Chain A
């Protein structure tokens, strides 16, 4: 995309093209979070209403209350921006932005379709996990700078929770990395091409268990109920954001919804085939008409757009699952939260890690037709042989070109 826009500008001013490309990508990503929050705040009200045998919003914007989030946004914008007397003014004002920026930065490395990613990193997954851990910093800043003991309690609870749930989350994320042999999210998604039996969740029984552990840890690390004791409204009013109002408060909520979308999309990529639909219509078409569609840019673009839709549907299902969990389970106490993490999630994920290791190492028959283990090992060895292959190709082209020139002469 950068090169495409760089071509529009005269020589010496290509950097403007790269800036335009960066701005477009940033705009798209901000809108993923903003529109996602817009839709999911409305969906949360509808889901909670249904679960509690109510209707939820019904008036604003038609029968389903479509515009409820917009009305909420206008209300929040018009609210007064309050700050407690004892607060640390600089940190208090900056904390929501830190939390939002941490959540937003993670989207940079999240692929939405094969190759459609703002920053293609060969360690994308590691980057995502590293950035996800930064969100707690905004929370701690908010809790500490508010000058209120409720906020401080909430921030400490959430920090303890998020930091401890990073451990099982990290172990769960290693499992797909181990199966695919790469930390590149695009490659992990592309390896699950084909029928839905190729999705990693159907790879073996251990991965199936790991997904549920991942989902639990993800719910805990984005601080949703039943792990929301950090903002337990009965004891702490609202936890670390007790003292916030108006837009700053809503920035925290944007960050929370952003991380919910992020962990759900990550689950979709790691376990549910990412942008690959359950039935590979587009690749089948490409196989049937290789001459017409093989190198056709608009066809692959359409395939990618369907991929984006597929990924967003899977991510939305994950977010709605989180809402379902929130309105179904009672809140856990702090000791139950830590027990859940250390006594259940960590051992289960560690055992599953070993199980997947032995499953792949012993070559137990797969339920799917991912690349066979030996072939994948060859691909990995190929990393060191790319140079050799290139040199071979170069030499061949050299000799053929000399042959040709020799013929002409």
Chain B
């Protein structure tokens, strides 16, 4: 993490940015190939490369856990499932698929809406606008520490509140980008490490909705397996 962030400073050619452009070009290019290709297996291949490149972007952003989850769930799981589905269902007519004009319109509509939402989101949170989150954090911490020092030099006591603020800032600066697996796991159980300064929202967890959704998915899977299972013939029918 440290060398990665250290390199994002004043370097004339920033390798972090270069890698970002390379990987995002890969992700976008293969996404376009998914839409342009007719052969369904090539589509699946392009999709898997695009998803893997997206996980590369997450790794570049320092979100290792989310990146590995992306690899495991989307690249590993879903695409294997997709390929199984393609292979077990693909008949002559479905192996090559033509993209119709209506599909293009619908796709552009959905994609454009998503892009608009995401662009708005990107510029919504001030921290995301700068690539040097860490150095800003460090600068803030140092400034506050200097303020406290001068306060101490003047002979004033450091209040409990200021002390707590310093602790929080030090914690934020030492953690860097939020990336701890333990914190994400605890967040699922109802403890939000990133919101611990706010007593009311600190304990807001998503365990119950998450559990309900996952059980729902399990029910759907069991139902699908039940409907799709091979119908068993009676013993008498076999002897016919």
Residues of A within 8 A of B (CB): 2-3, 6, 11-15, 18-19, 88, 90-91, 94, 121-123, 126-127, 129-131, 133-134, 136-137, 140-141, 144-145, 152, 156, 159, 163, 183, 380, 383-384, 386-388, 390-391, 394-395, 398-399, 401-402, 406
Q: State whether A122 and B179 are in contact (beta carbons under 8 Å apart), knowing that A134-B76, A387-B171 are contacts in the complex.
A: yes
Q: Is B64 interfacial (CB 8 A cutoff)?
A: yes
Please name all residues of chain B whose beta carbon is closer than 8 Å to the beta carbon of A183 when the two chains form the complex. Answer: 181
Q: State whether A12 and B12 are in contact (beta carbons under 8 Å apart), knowing that A137-B79, A398-B152 are contacts in the complex.
A: yes
Distance of A105 from chain B, by nearest CB (Å): 9
Between B15, B76, B77, the greatest number of chain A beta carbons within 10 A of the residue's beta carbon is seen for B76
Q: State whether A14 and B11 are in contact (beta carbons under 8 Å apart), knowing that A127-B68, A383-B182 are contacts in the complex.
A: yes
Please name all residues of chain B whose beta carbon is closer than 8 Å to the beta carbon of A94 when the two chains form the complex. Answer: 45
Distance of B123 from chain A, by nearest CB (Å): 27
Cross-chain contact of B7 among A15, A90, A152, A399 (Cβ < 8 A) = A15
Is there contact, CB below 8 Å, between A122 and B180?
Answer: yes
Please name all residues of chain B whose beta carbon is closer than 8 Å to the beta carbon of A387 when the two chains form the complex. Answer: 167-168, 170-172, 174-175
Q: Jot down 28 A-B pairs with beta carbons below 8 A, ordered by A.
A: A2-B3, A11-B10, A11-B11, A12-B13, A15-B7, A15-B15, A18-B15, A91-B42, A94-B45, A123-B65, A126-B65, A126-B72, A126-B181, A127-B64, A130-B75, A130-B76, A140-B87, A159-B80, A380-B182, A387-B168, A387-B175, A388-B171, A391-B163, A391-B170, A395-B166, A398-B148, A398-B149, A398-B152
Is there contact, CB below 8 Å, between A13 and B13?
Answer: yes
8 tightest A-B CB contacts, nearest first: A387-B171, A15-B15, A12-B12, A391-B167, A130-B72, A133-B76, A2-B3, A130-B71
- Whole-angstrom distance between the alpha carbons of A136 and B158 in the complex? 60
Q: Identify the closest chain B residue to A160 (Cβ).
A: B84
Using a CB-CB cutoff of 8 Å, which residues 2-55 of chain B contact chain A? Answer: 3, 6-7, 10-15, 18, 39, 41-42, 45, 48, 52
Cross-chain contact of A140 among B42, B83, B179, B182 (Cβ < 8 A) = B83
- Whole-angstrom distance between the alpha carbons of A131 and B80 in the complex? 13
Is there contact, CB below 8 Å, between B45 and A390?
Answer: no
Total cross-chain contacts (CB, 8 A): 133
Is there contact, CB below 8 Å, between B45 and A91?
Answer: yes
Please name all residues of chain B whose beta carbon is closer than 8 Å to the beta carbon of A12 when the two chains form the complex. Answer: 10-13
Please name all residues of chain B whose beta carbon is closer than 8 Å to the beta carbon of A380 when the two chains form the complex. Answer: 182
Is there contact, CB below 8 Å, between B87 and A144?
Answer: yes
- Whole-angstrom distance between the alpha carbons of A401 and B6 in the complex? 27
Interface mask (B54-87 → A, CB under 8 Å = 1, otherwise 0): 0000000000110011011001110110011001
Is there contact, CB below 8 Å, between A395 and B168?
Answer: no
Cross-chain contact of B80 among A136, A384, A394 (Cβ < 8 A) = A136
Residues of B within 8 A of A (CB): 3, 6-7, 10-15, 18, 39, 41-42, 45, 48, 52, 64-65, 68-69, 71-72, 75-77, 79-80, 83-84, 87, 145, 148-149, 152-153, 158, 163, 166-168, 170-172, 174-175, 179-182, 193, 196
Please name all residues of chain B whose beta carbon is closer than 8 Å to the beta carbon of A11 when the two chains form the complex. Answer: 10-11
Is there contact, CB below 8 Å, between A137 and B48?
Answer: yes
Please name all residues of chain A whose beta carbon is closer than 8 Å to the beta carbon of B12 when the two chains form the complex. Answer: 12-13
Please name all residues of chain B whose beta carbon is closer than 8 Å to the beta carbon of A140 when the two chains form the complex. Answer: 80, 83, 87
Distance of B75 from chain A, by nearest CB (Å): 6
Q: State whether A156 and B87 are in contact (beta carbons under 8 Å apart), knowing that A14-B11, A136-B80, A395-B158 are contacts in the complex.
A: yes
Is there contact, CB below 8 Å, between A144 and B170?
Answer: no
- Whole-angstrom distance between the alpha carbons of A144 and B41 in the complex? 9
- Whole-angstrom distance between the alpha carbons of A183 and B76 in the complex? 19
Distance of A272 from chain B, by nearest CB (Å): 24
Is there contact, CB below 8 Å, between B71 and A390?
Answer: no
Q: State whether A386 and B171 are in contact (beta carbons under 8 Å apart), knowing that A91-B41, A144-B41 are contacts in the complex.
A: yes
Is there contact, CB below 8 Å, between A141 and B45?
Answer: yes
A94-B45, A137-B79 are known contacts; what are 20 more A-B pairs with Cβ within 8 Å? A2-B3, A13-B11, A13-B13, A14-B7, A15-B13, A15-B14, A91-B41, A136-B80, A137-B75, A152-B87, A159-B83, A163-B80, A387-B167, A390-B170, A390-B174, A391-B167, A395-B163, A395-B166, A402-B152, A406-B153
- Whole-angstrom distance between the alpha carbons of A156 and B87 in the complex? 9
Is there contact, CB below 8 Å, between A388 and B3?
Answer: no
Is there contact, CB below 8 Å, between B71 and A131?
Answer: yes
Distance of A404 from chain B, by nearest CB (Å): 12
Q: Identify the closest chain A residue to B150 (Cβ).
A: A402
Please name all residues of chain B whose beta carbon is closer than 8 Å to the beta carbon of A145 when the two chains form the complex. Answer: 41
Between A126, A144, A391, the greatest number of chain B beta carbons within 10 A of the residue's beta carbon is seen for A391
Is there contact, CB below 8 Å, between A129 and B153?
Answer: no
Is there contact, CB below 8 Å, between B71 and A394?
Answer: no
Cross-chain contact of B3 among A3, A391, A399 (Cβ < 8 A) = A3
Distance of A390 from chain B, by nearest CB (Å): 4
Q: Identify the closest chain B residue to A144 (Cβ).
A: B41
Q: State whether A384 and B193 are in contact (beta carbons under 8 Å apart), knowing that A130-B72, A140-B83 are contacts in the complex.
A: yes
- Whole-angstrom distance between the alpha carbons of A137 and B81 in the complex? 11
Please name all residues of chain B whose beta carbon is closer than 8 Å to the beta carbon of A395 when the two chains form the complex. Answer: 148, 158, 163, 166
Q: State whether A134 and B174 are in contact (beta carbons under 8 Å apart), knowing that A123-B68, A391-B167 are contacts in the complex.
A: no
